[in-house]
Amino acid sequence: QVQLVESGGGSVQTGGSLRLSCATSGFTFDDYAIGWFQEAPGKKREGLVCISINSQLTAPSVKGRFTISRDTAKRTVHVQMNNLKPEDTATYYCVALLGRNCESWRVADFYGLGNWGKGTLVTVSS
């Protein structure tokens, strides 16, 4: 059974940093694309960053500020979020999709696919 547990959310001021982590279990880590979707108030959910054994994706809206990484030994995916802005305030979901293709992962929400964590809230104040 796929399990995804997010941690690291919290409240920061504009310009601050946070590191989100997604601890995983129940599947072959190298067979999945894993990343983070953002659900902001009043906005459509968006896949921001994804990583797999042979693929990586970063949305233009966070390029240069968000960096994703994976630790195979710990079966964990992290996203380092720097220079946070009030518009980054959102719930962030760890999402894992079978297959190693982050382009497919990016549209997982649209097709109702993927395994989703419960989310972690990030609040950025001005």
Gap between the Cα atoms of 124 and 106, Å rounded:
24
Q: What is the pLDDT at residue 94?
A: 98
Q: What is the pLDDT at residue 111?
A: 86
The tens-digit pLDDT sequence of the chain (126 residues) is: 999 999 999 999 999 999 999 999 999 999 999 999 999 989 999 999 999 999 999 999 999 999 999 999 999 999 999 999 999 999 999 999 999 999 999 998 888 889 999 999 999 999
Q: What is the pLDDT at residue 98?
A: 95
Q: What is the pLDDT at residue 109?
A: 85
Gap between the Cα atoms of 108 and 45, Å rounded:
11
Gap between the Cα atoms of 72 and 87, Å rounded:
31
Task: Answer yes or no: are the C-beta atoms of 48 and 38 closer than 8 Å.
Answer: yes
> In one letter, which amino acid is 102?
C
Gap between the Cα atoms of 30 and 62, Å rounded:
25
Helix (H) / strand (E) element for 102: namely helix 102-106
Q: What is the pLDDT at residue 19?
A: 98
CB burial string 75-112: b at 16+ within 10 A, e below: bbbbbebeebeeebbbbbbbbbbbebebebbbebbeee
Using a 10 angstrom Cβ sphere, with 0-12 exposed, 13-18 middle and 19 or more buried, the burial of residue 15 is exposed
